[in-house]
């Protein structure tokens, strides 16, 4: 009986298919049943979007490093700040420069966390801003200040790289700019920022291992050298003018 045979065949085939599919279905459902990652707490702080794709700075900084650094590391500082701001709403309504410039005004219960997480938010916001594909060279007033205060471009970059290499553990190497426009190379540990002692960062490079380890491993010196290919000098020039005008934020 062909039709019965066919029904039997299809029935059997369906049974086999169902049997074969079952483990896959169970498997497919398993991740959905697992606890989802907790959404980042909403609040007044947000990671600023990059003005370029994650892979835009390759080969100097690889796309995966940029993605993890921007979305997860900076994201964690922002998430922590939003958690702190729930119980301390004034944190979200104050200028970042005011808070970082007056950390001692904060209660002891949040001072350390604000220093680390708001410092990290400020540092990384600056960092994404002063990079761009294509790099370029300093010119105009910034170049004149580099020549005057830092011994010229070549010496400046050599000294900056050496300072970044000497920073023990995690931290940053900055060019700070004073109100009169004077430049200096300075390092800070952890997520400290020159705003904390009344200065401003004109530019800075992140020497935490999370900034380079996927591609450079322990070769921080190679990362520091390659990083110059990513510096957005036209943005640095804007920051320099703003610093002299007293309007530079983070």
Q: Which residues sit at the interface with Fe ion, rule CB under 5 A?
A: 206, 208
Per-residue burial over 172-206, b = 16 or more CB atoms within 10 Å of its CB, e = otherwise: bbbbbbbeebebebbbbeebbbbbbeebbbbbbbb
How far does CA 61 lie from the centroid of its chain?
12
E strand or H helix that includes residue 201: strand 200-206
User: Which CB, 138 or 204, lies closer to Fe ion?
Assistant: 204
Pick between residue 121 and residue 150 the one whose CB is nearest to Fe ion.
Answer: 121
The minimum distance between CB 74 and Fe ion, in angstroms, equals 7
- Strand, helix or coil at 172? strand
Minimum gap (Å) between residue 73 Cβ and Fe ion = 5
Least distance between Fe ion and beta carbon 128 (Å): 10
Q: Which is nearer to Fe ion, 146 or 195 (CB)?
A: 195
Rg of the chain, C-alpha, whole Å: 25
CA 230 to chain centre: 14
CB closer to Fe ion, 75 vs 181: 75
The least CB distance from residue 12 to Fe ion, in Å, is 59
Tokens, residue 175: 């060019």
């Amino acid at each position: 009986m062909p039709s019965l045979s066919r029904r039997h065949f299809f029935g059997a085939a369906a049974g086999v298919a169902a049997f074969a599919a079952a483990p896959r279905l169970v498997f497919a459902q398993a991740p959905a049943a697992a606890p989802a990652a907790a959404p980042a707490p909403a609040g007044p702080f947000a990671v600023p979007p990059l003005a370029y794709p994650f892979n835009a700075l390759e080969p100097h900084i690889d796309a995966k490093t940029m993605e993890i650094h921007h979305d997860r590391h900076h994201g964690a500082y922002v998430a922590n700040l939003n958690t702190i701001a729930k119980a301390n709403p004034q944190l979200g309504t104050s200028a970042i420069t005011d808070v970082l410039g007056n950390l001692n005004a904060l209660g002891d219960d949040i001072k350390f966390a604000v220093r680390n997480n708001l410092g990290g938010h400020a540092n990384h916001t600056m960092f994404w801003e002063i990079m761009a594909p294509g790099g370029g060279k300093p010119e105009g007033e910034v170049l004149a200040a580099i020549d005057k205060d830092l011994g010229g471009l070549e010496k400046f970059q050599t000294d900056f790289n050496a300072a970044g290499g000497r920073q023990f553990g995690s931290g940053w190497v900055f060019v700070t700019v004073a109100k009169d426009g004077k430049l200096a190379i300075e390092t800070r540990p952890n997520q400290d920022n020159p705003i904390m002692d009344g200065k401003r960062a004109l530019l800075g490079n992140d020497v935490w291992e999370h900034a380079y380890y996927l591609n450079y491993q322990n070769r921080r010196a190679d990362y520091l050298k390659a990083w110059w290919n990513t510096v957005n000098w036209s943005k640095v020039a804007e920051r320099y003018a703003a610093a002299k005008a007293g309007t530079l934020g983070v």
